[in-house]
Amino acid sequence: MKRFYEGKSVLVTGGLGFIGSNLAIRLLELGAYVTVVDSLIPETGGNAFNIEPVRDEPKLSVRTVDVRDVLAMERLVRNQTVIFNLAGQVSHIDSMQDPFTDLEINCRSQLALLDTCRRVAPQTKVIFASTRQIYGRVPEEQLPVDERQPPSPVDVNGINKLAGERYHVLYNNVHGIHTSVLRLTNTYGPRLLVKNSRQTAIGWLIRQVMDGETITIFGDGLQLRDFTYVDDVVEAFLMAGANDTANGQVFNVGAIEPISLRELADLLIEVAGTGRYELVPFPPERKAIDIGSIYVDDRKIRRVLKWRPQVDMREGLRRTIEFYRANRAHYWGAPEPALA
Amino acid sequence: MKRFYEGKSVLVTGGLGFIGSNLAIRLLELGAYVTVVDSLIPETGGNAFNIEPVRDEPKLSVRTVDVRDVLAMERLVRNQTVIFNLAGQVSHIDSMQDPFTDLEINCRSQLALLDTCRRVAPQTKVIFASTRQIYGRVPEEQLPVDERQPPSPVDVNGINKLAGERYHVLYNNVHGIHTSVLRLTNTYGPRLLVKNSRQTAIGWLIRQVMDGETITIFGDGLQLRDFTYVDDVVEAFLMAGANDTANGQVFNVGAIEPISLRELADLLIEVAGTGRYELVPFPPERKAIDIGSIYVDDRKIRRVLKWRPQVDMREGLRRTIEFYRANRAHYWGAPEPALA
C-alpha cells in the first residue's frame, strides 16, 4: 500500500467527515499528497478537529469547498491520481424532508465530478462511497444480500445514492474513467458524528451511553446489521484505489459478523460502563422507512481485493469510546431527541 | 373505461408529444376534462399538430409549460384525478452529451411533481412513463426480462429514468400518493417523432423508408425488440389510471411478440412499398451504449390489469404510414445523418 500511495496526489471529498478524515490521516501516513475537500455544512459530519493529528503535515491541503461548486471542484480534480469520493448527504430523514438538497449533492454533484474528470482528468481513478441503503427492505430469506440483489431503496437518499453509483459505473464503462464503488454498511469508530443522529444511529447510541442516558431502540431490537470499524473501511478504500481489478466494480463492504441492535446496545453499555436501553414501538413515520434486518454478503471484495475486516466489535467500540473520552469537547453538541 | 374517465379531470404531461397526444385524444373521446402540458422544446416530440383532431374540444386545455417550472406545475396539478406523467427527455445520445439537462427533466422535475402532489393534491393518482432502458444489457439466457430483473442502465438517461420511477414508487409507499409505473418498450404509431432520431429508432426508420432511402442497421440486425402500437400503450395507461390494484406497482408493457430489427425493416419496406436497408458495423460510440437483444416478460400487467396488445405489427405500421402520408408536412423536418 505504501508503495502505491507514497508521493501520489490524492483528493478526498468529504475529507473532514468521519470516514474521509480517517482515510486522509492514513494516506498521509502512507506518504501521499492529500487534498481534503469539505463543505463543512453545519449539522453534517464535517469537523475541522477530525484532522487535528495531521494539521501541520506539509503534504496536507485543506479546502473548504462544496462539491456543488463545479468550477471550484474542477480546479481541485486536476492532476490527482485517485479521488476518494465520500462527500454526500447521508441523513435519510433529511432526504425525505428536503429531497432536492439530497438530489443536488448525491446526484447532480456526482455527475458533475465525473464529467469534470472526463474532461480534465481522464486518468484519475474515482472510488465512490455508496451504501447498503440502496437495497432497501430485503426479505429475511434473501439475506445476506450480495451485489446482484435488485436495488429497492426506501427513501430519497437511497434512490439518489443509487443514481450516484450508477453514474460512476457508467463513466467507467463508457467514458473510460476508472471508477469503483463501495457499498458501505454501518461504519463506526473515532470521528463519527455524534452531535446529532444524522450520520448513523450508532453515533447517537455511543453518545447516549457515554452520557449515562437511556437508548431508545425502535421495535424488538432483533434487527441484524453489519458494523464495520472505520480502519477496516479505510483499508477497503485504499485497496480499491490501488487495484485495477476494482475498476468498474461494485463491492459490498460488510462486517466480521452481523449483530442485532440489542446485542450492540448490550456491548456498548458493557464497554462504556454506563447507559441503559429501552425498546419502544416504531413511530409510524419511522416504520415507513424502516428496513428490518439487513446484512451483506461481501465475499466479492474478499475474493477480488483480498480485503478482510480485522477489528472486532468490542475492540472497535473500546477505541471509539476512548477517543471520545479524550476529545469530547470537539464532538458533543446540544442534546437532541432520542433516535435509533 | 368510459365510466371511470367521463367527467374526470386529468393532466397529461408531455401531452403534445407522441404517446401523450394519442392519450389526450382518447381521454377526450372518453369524456374526460383534459389538460395537456408540454414544453414544446424544439427537436423533441412535442408538436402542436398532434392534437389537431381535438383542437376545438371545449374539454381540452393546452398549456405550454416546462415541467421544470415547479410553480407553474403546482397550479396545474391541483384538482386532477389522474396525472399521466409522460414528460421526459428521451434521447439516450443527448443524455450522454448533456447529462445535466437529462437530470433536471428526468430526476428533479419528477421529484418536484411528486412533492407538489404530496403538498397540494394528495388524492391525485400519477401514472409514470418509464422505459425498458433501465434494464440495460441483459444476457440472452435471462430474456425475456420481468420486473424483478436488477436494473443496469447503460446511459445517463436510463439511470435518471430509474431514479424517476423509484421516486414514484417511494411516494406511493411512504407519502400515500397513488402512483403506478409503466416500463415501455418501443412504442410506434401516428404522431411518433420522425423529424430526427431522438425519440426512438423506429420513427427515423419509418421516415427513411417512406422517403425511399436506405436504412442503416448497426450490427447484424438480429437484435430482438418489442414494438407496441401506440393505441395499446394508451390503453395500458388508461387501465393503470383507473385501477387501484395498480397502485405502487411497476409493470412491463411489451408487444404481441418480439421481432428482430431486420424483420422490422423487411416489414416496413413491404408495407411502405419503398426503401431498402444495409447492415453496417457499430461505430464505437454507439457500441458502447448498445444493449443487444432485449424484450420483456409482461405477464404481470396482463394478469393484474387484464391488458393485452391488440394491434399487430403489420396493421400498426400500415396505420402509421397512412397517417404520415396524410400529414407529412407537419412531421418531416430537415434530414439528419442515418442512425438505427
Cβ–Cβ below 8 Å for B159 and A166: yes
The pLDDT of B261-269, averaged and rounded, is 96
Q: How confident is the model at residue B340 (pLDDT cuts 50, 70, 90)?
A: very low
Cβ–Cβ below 8 Å for B150 and A153: no
Beta strands in chain B (DSSP E): 9-13, 33-38, 60-64, 82-85, 125-131, 178-184, 186-188, 214-218, 224-225, 227-229, 250-253, 259-260, 276-280
Select the residue from A98, A106, A111, A155 to test the B interface by mutation, using most B Cβ atoms within 10 A: A111
What's the burial of A56, exposed, middle or buried (CB within 10 Å: 0-12/13-18/19+)? Answer: exposed
Question: How far is residue A304's CA from residue A316's CA, in Å, rounded to a whole number?
Answer: 25
Put simply, whether the predicted model's pTM sits higher than 0.90 gets the answer yes
Question: How far is residue A189's CA from residue A176's CA, in Å, rounded to a whole number?
Answer: 35
Closest CA to A249 of A179, A308, A319: A179
Which residue from A minimizes the CA distance to B159?
A: A163
Which sign does the torsion angle of CA A145, A151, A155, A159 carry? positive
Select the residue from B135, B170, B177 to test the A interface by mutation, using most A Cβ atoms within 10 A: B170
Q: Report the residue from B100, B108, B288 with minimal CB separation from A174.
A: B288
Q: Is the confidence metric ipTM above 0.90 for this complex? A: no
Each residue of B175-209: pLDDT tens digit? 989 999 999 999 999 999 998 877 788 998 999 99
Select the residue from B156, B175, B287 to test the A interface by mutation, using most A Cβ atoms within 10 A: B156
The pLDDT of B295-323, averaged and rounded, is 98
Percent of chain B whose predicted confidence (pLDDT) is above 70: 98
Nearest-neighbour CA in chain B from A52: distance (Å): 37
Residue A149 contacts B where some CB pair is shorter than 8 Å: yes
Q: How confident is the model at residue A223 (pLDDT cuts 50, 70, 90)?
A: very high
Residue B108 contacts A where some CB pair is shorter than 8 Å: yes
Nearest-neighbour CA in chain A from B179: distance (Å): 15
Question: How far is residue A105's CA from residue B334's CA, in Å, rounded to a whole number?
Answer: 40
Distance from the Cα of residue A86 to its chain's centroid? 7
Each residue of B137-178: pLDDT tens digit? 999 999 999 999 999 999 999 999 999 999 999 999 999 899
Question: How far is residue B162's CA from residue A340's CA, in Å, rounded to a whole number?
Answer: 30
- Number of Cα atoms under 13 Å in the Cβ half of residue A119: 13
Each residue of B84-95: pLDDT tens digit? 999 999 888 899
- Number of Cα atoms under 13 Å in the Cβ half of residue B255: 22
Q: Which three cell numbers stand for residue A135?
A: 437495497
Say which residues have a Cβ less than 8 Å from residue B334's Cβ, sequence separation at least 6: B195
Which ranges in A190-283 belong to alpha helices (H)?
201-210, 230-242, 261-272
Percent of chain A whose predicted confidence (pLDDT) is above 70: 98
Which sign does the torsion angle of CA A165, A166, A167, A171 carry? positive
Element (H, E) at B231: helix B230-242
Q: How confident is the model at residue B288 (pLDDT cuts 50, 70, 90)?
A: confident
Residue B139 contacts A where some CB pair is shorter than 8 Å: no
Task: Say which DSSP state B168 is in.
Answer: H
Mean pLDDT of chain A: 94
Which sign does the torsion angle of CA B330, B334, B338, B340 carry? negative
Question: How far is residue B80's CA from residue B74's CA, in Å, rounded to a whole number?
Answer: 11
Report CA Rg, chain B.
19
Q: How confident is the model at residue A340 (pLDDT cuts 50, 70, 90)?
A: very low
Cβ–Cβ below 8 Å for A99 and B115: yes
Say which residues have a Cβ less than 8 Å from residue B141's Cβ, sequence separation at least 6: none
Residue B154 contacts A where some CB pair is shorter than 8 Å: yes
Q: Which three cell numbers stand for residue A7?
A: 508521493
Q: Which three cell numbers stand for residue B30?
A: 372518453
Residue A113 contacts B where some CB pair is shorter than 8 Å: no
Each residue of A234-273: pLDDT tens digit? 999 999 999 999 999 999 999 999 999 999 999 999 999 9
* Residues forming beta bridges with residue A128, ordered by sequence position: A85, A181
Interface of A with B in 80-99 (CB under 8 A): 96, 99
Residue for grid cell 468490542: A314
Which residue from A minimizes the CA distance to B114?
A: A99
Question: How far is residue A171's CA from residue A173's CA, in Å, rounded to a whole number?
Answer: 6
Cβ–Cβ below 8 Å for B107 and A103: yes
Residue A155 contacts B where some CB pair is shorter than 8 Å: yes
Residue B135 pLDDT more than 90? yes
Residue B339 pLDDT more than 50? no
Residue B142 contacts A where some CB pair is shorter than 8 Å: no
Question: How far is residue A249's CA from residue A256's CA, in Å, rounded to a whole number?
Answer: 22
Q: Which three cell numbers stand for residue B80?
A: 386532477
Domains and their CATH numbers in chain A: 2-189+227-253 (3.40.50.720)
Each residue of B4-52: pLDDT tens digit? 999 999 999 999 999 999 999 999 999 999 999 999 988 888 999 999 9
Closest CA to A298 of A259, A258, A251, A257: A251
Residue A334 pLDDT more than 70? no
Nearest-neighbour CA in chain A from B159: distance (Å): 6
Angle at B114 between CA B112 and CA B118, to 5 degrees: 115
Residue B177 contacts A where some CB pair is shorter than 8 Å: no
Each residue of A159-192: pLDDT tens digit? 999 999 999 999 999 998 999 999 999 999 999 9
